[in-house]
C-alpha cells in the first residue's frame, strides 16, 4: 500500500514538473541567438525578389544601423506560396523565423494556424498609436477590432493606358474611360484605328481582379460579410456584380477587342510595352517599371466600374508581416521593434518611392523624398487618390477565406473559359458551385 502510494506520488510530481516545464517552454521553441557583439537576431522571411527584395534588405540594414540591441536577418524564401509552405513545415521548431511576410489571401489561414501572436498584443503593450496608419490598409488585416499582422507591401489594381495610342486613335489621353461601356467603346476605337494585331484592352488572368471588380460595385465574394462576421458558407460570386463583370468580358471578347495574354503578369506587361494592347489592368506595384520601360507616355486611371454605379473603391493587395508565437519573448520584442521602425514616416516614404507600394503611414506623404517621387511620376497620384477615396465596407475590406488560393484558381479557370468563347453565365454559375465545394471541404477539415 505504502509502496503503491509512493509510486503514485512520484508519478504525480513528475507529471507536475513536466507540465511546469512545458509551460515555461511554451513560448520558446528556439534559443535566443545573438551576434558576436550581443545583438538579438531576428530572422525575417520575405517573398519579394529583384529590386523589391533589395529594398527589403536596405530596410533591414537601416534598422540594424539605427540601434545596437537587435539585428534583423532578412532571408528571401522564394514566392509567397513557397515561403508559406516552408513555414508550415518549420513552424514550432528552432528553424522557424521570428517574423514572416505572408500574402494577403493567407490572412485567415495564418489567424487560424496557431503559429502567430497577434500584432495587437504588441500594439496594446506598447501603446502604439495605429491611428497614424492608413485605415483603408489596416482594415484588411483587422478582424473583430484586432490587428493580426502589420501591412508591409501594399498595392491595389489600376488601369494603365498608352496615351500616345489614345491620341493617334482620336481619344482624349487626359480623359480615360471610367465605366464598362466607356472602356469597351475606347477599345473598339483603338482596334478600328490600328487594325489586326492590336488589342484594345486586357486583364491579367488572376482571380485578384475579379475580387476587385466585384468590390468596386459594392458586392461581396462570400456570405457573412465576406467572411468577416462568421465563417463563410456560401459563394456570392454569381450575384449581379460578378455577373456584370463576366458578361462585360464576354461581350468584349465577342467584339474582338479583348486581348488574352494568359496568366503570367509579365506577358501582359510585355504586350503593353510592345504596344500590342492599349489598356490593361495591373498592380500599382509594377507602375514605376512600366513607366521607365515604356517608349511612350503612360497614363493611369481608376479601376472601371459598371455603368450607372458609383465606384466603391479597391481592396488592398500585397502582403503583411506576422510575428510568430512559439519563439522567445526577447525575440518577439526585437521583431516588434523592427515592425515599428518599418512604419516610421521616413522609412515608409523611402519604401514607397523605391518600390511603388503604398506607404502605410499617413505622414509619409509629407516626406520630401516621396513628394519628389510623385513629382517625377504623377501617375502614382491616381493610385493614391483611388485608395484614399475607397469607401470602407466588408466589400472593400476583402474576403477572409481559408482556402483563398484554391478559390482564385477556380476563378482563373472560369475567366479562361470566357477567353475560349464559353458562356459567361455558365462560367460564373460553375465557379459559384466550385467555390461552395471548397468552402464545405474547408469546414469539414477544420471541424
- From the list 439, 435, 444, the residue with the least C-alpha distance to 108 is 439
How many angstroms separate the CA atoms of 437 and 433, rounded? 6
Q: Is the pLDDT of residue 20 over 80?
A: no
- Taking only the tens place, the pLDDT of each residue in 131-153 is 999 999 999 999 999 999 999 99
> Are 343 and 370 contained in the same domain?
yes
Domain with 132 in it: 40-155+317-376
315, 398 contact by CB (below 8 A): yes
> Are 233 and 144 contained in the same domain?
no
Residue 288: per-residue pLDDT: 87
390, 396 contact by CB (below 8 A): yes
> Are 194 and 259 contained in the same domain?
yes
Q: Do the domain assignments include residue 9?
A: no
- Taking only the tens place, the pLDDT of each residue in 185-200 is 999 999 999 998 999 9
Question: If 0-12 CB within 10 Å is exposed, 13-18 middle and 19+ buried, where does residue 78 land?
Answer: middle
> Are 62 and 149 contained in the same domain?
yes
CA 39 to chain centre: 32
> Are 410 and 289 contained in the same domain?
yes
What global pTM score does this model have? Answer: 0.89
Average pLDDT on 152-180 reads 97
Domain boundary among 376, 393, 414: 376
Task: Report the percent of the chain where pLDDT is more than 90.
Answer: 87
- From the list 261, 243, 222, 248, the residue with the least C-alpha distance to 399 is 222
Q: Do the domain assignments include residue 16?
A: no
Q: How far is CA 431 from CA 245, 247, 408, 415, 418, in A?
A: 14, 14, 10, 10, 12
Place of cell 545583438: 39
**239 CB-near residues (< 8 Å, 6+ apart):** 214, 219, 220
Q: Is the pLDDT of residue 440 over 50?
A: yes
Average pLDDT on 155-180 reads 97
| CATH number reported for the structural domain that contains residue 151 in this entry | 3.40.190.10
198, 275 contact by CB (below 8 A): yes
198, 190 contact by CB (below 8 A): yes
Give how many domains the chain has, as a whole number.
2
> Are 412 and 434 contained in the same domain?
yes
Q: Do the domain assignments include residue 10?
A: no
- Taking only the tens place, the pLDDT of each residue in 255-291 is 999 999 999 999 999 999 999 999 999 999 889 889 9
Instruction: Give residue 186's region: left, alpha or beta (phi > 0; psi -120 to 50).
Output: alpha
How many angstroms separate the CA atoms of 260 and 253, rounded? 9
How many angstroms separate the CA atoms of 291 and 273, rounded? 9
How many angstroms separate the CA atoms of 151 and 141, rounded? 7
Average pLDDT on 411-418 reads 98
- Taking only the tens place, the pLDDT of each residue in 250-259 is 999 999 999 9
Q: Do the domain assignments include residue 351?
A: yes
Question: If 0-12 CB within 10 Å is exposed, 13-18 middle and 19+ buried, where does residue 16 land?
Answer: exposed
How many angstroms separate the CA atoms of 228 and 222, rounded? 10
- Taking only the tens place, the pLDDT of each residue in 337-395 is 999 999 999 999 999 999 989 999 999 999 999 999 999 999 999 999 999 999 999 99
Q: Do the domain assignments include residue 344?
A: yes
Enter the C-alpha cell of residue 334.
526585437
Place of cell 514605376: 288
Average pLDDT on 7-21 reads 37
Enter the C-alpha cell of residue 96.
522557424
Q: Is the pLDDT of residue 14 over 80?
A: no
> Are 201 and 256 contained in the same domain?
yes
Residue 93: per-residue pLDDT: 87
> Are 266 and 414 contained in the same domain?
yes
Place of cell 453565365: 425
How many angstroms separate the CA atoms of 311 and 307, rounded? 10
> Are 254 and 302 contained in the same domain?
yes
> Are 77 and 224 contained in the same domain?
no
> Are 114 and 166 contained in the same domain?
no
Q: Do the domain assignments include residue 416?
A: yes
> Are 418 and 273 contained in the same domain?
yes
- Average pLDDT of the residues of the chain: 92
**350 CB-near residues (< 8 Å, 6+ apart):** 369, 370
186, 178 contact by CB (below 8 A): no
How many angstroms separate the CA atoms of 405 and 148, rounded? 20
Q: Do the domain assignments include residue 394?
A: no
Q: Do the domain assignments include residue 220?
A: yes
Amino acid at each position: 500500500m505504502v509502496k503503491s502510494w509512493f509510486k503514485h506520488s512520484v508519478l504525480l510530481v513528475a507529471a507536475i514538473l513536466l507540465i511546469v516545464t512545458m509551460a515555461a517552454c511554451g513560448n520558446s521553441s528556439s534559443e535566443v541567438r545573438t551576434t558576436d557583439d550581443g545583438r538579438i537576431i531576428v530572422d525575417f522571411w520575405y517573398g519579394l525578389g529583384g529590386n523589391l527584395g533589395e529594398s527589403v534588405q536596405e530596410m533591414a540594414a537601416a534598422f540594424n544601423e539605427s540601434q545596437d540591441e537587435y539585428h534583423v536577418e532578412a532571408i528571401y524564401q522564394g514566392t509567397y506560396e513557397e515561403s508559406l509552405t516552408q513555414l508550415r513545415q518549420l513552424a514550432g521548431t528552432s528553424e522557424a523565423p521570428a517574423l514572416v511576410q505572408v500574402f494577403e489571401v493567407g490572412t485567415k489561414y495564418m489567424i487560424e494556424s496557431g503559429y502567430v501572436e497577434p500584432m495587437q498584443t504588441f500594439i496594446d503593450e506598447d501603446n502604439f498609436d495605429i491611428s497614424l496608419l492608413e485605415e483603408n490598409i489596416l482594415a484588411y488585416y483587422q478582424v473583430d477590432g484586432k490587428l493580426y499582422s502589420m501591412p508591409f507591401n501594399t498595392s491595389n489594381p489600376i488601369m494603365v493606358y498608352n496615351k500616345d495610342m489614345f491620341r493617334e486613335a482620336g481619344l482624349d489621353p487626359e480623359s480615360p474611360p471610367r465605366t464598362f461601356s466607356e472602356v469597351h467603346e475606347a477599345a473598339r476605337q483603338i482596334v478600328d484605328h490600328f487594325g489586326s494585331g492590336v488589342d484594345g484592352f486586357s486583364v491579367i488572368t488572376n482571380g485578384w481582379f475579379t475580387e476587385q471588380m466585384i468590390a468596386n460595385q459594392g458586392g461581396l465574394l462570400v456570405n457573412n460579410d465576406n467572411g468577416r462576421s462568421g465563417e463563410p458558407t456560401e459563394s456570392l460570386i454569381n450575384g449581379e456584380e460578378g455577373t456584370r463583370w463576366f458578361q462585360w468580358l464576354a461581350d468584349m471578347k465577342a467584339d474582338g477587342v479583348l486581348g488574352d495574354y494568359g496568366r503570367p503578369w509579365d506577358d501582359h506587361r510585355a504586350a503593353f510595352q510592345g504596344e500590342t494592347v492599349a489598356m490593361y489592368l495591373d498592380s500599382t506595384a509594377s507602375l514605376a517599371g512600366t513607366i521607365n520601360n515604356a517608349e511612350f507616355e503612360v497614363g493611369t486611371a481608376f479601376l472601371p466600374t459598371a455603368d450607372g454605379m458609383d465606384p466603391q473603391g479597391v481592396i488592398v493587395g500585397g502582403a503583411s508581416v506576422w510575428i510568430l508565437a512559439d519563439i522567445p519573448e526577447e525575440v518577439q520584442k526585437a521583431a516588434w521593434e523592427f515592425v515599428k521602425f518599418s512604419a516610421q514616416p521616413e522609412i515608409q516614404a523611402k519604401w514607397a518611392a523605391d518600390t511603388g507600394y503604398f506607404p502605410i503611414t499617413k505622414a509619409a506623404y509629407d516626406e520630401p523624398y516621396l513628394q519628389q517621387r510623385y513629382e517625377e511620376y504623377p501617375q502614382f497620384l491616381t493610385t493614391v487618390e483611388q485608395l484614399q477615396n475607397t469607401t470602407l465596407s466588408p466589400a472593400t475590406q476583402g474576403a477572409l477565406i481559408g482556402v483563398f488560393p484554391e478559390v482564385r484558381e477556380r476563378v482563373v479557370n472560369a475567366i479562361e473559359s470566357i477567353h475560349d468563347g464559353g458562356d459567361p453565365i455558365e462560367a460564373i454559375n460553375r465557379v459559384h458551385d466550385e467555390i461552395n465545394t471548397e468552402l464545405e471541404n474547408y469546414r469539414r477539415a477544420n471541424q
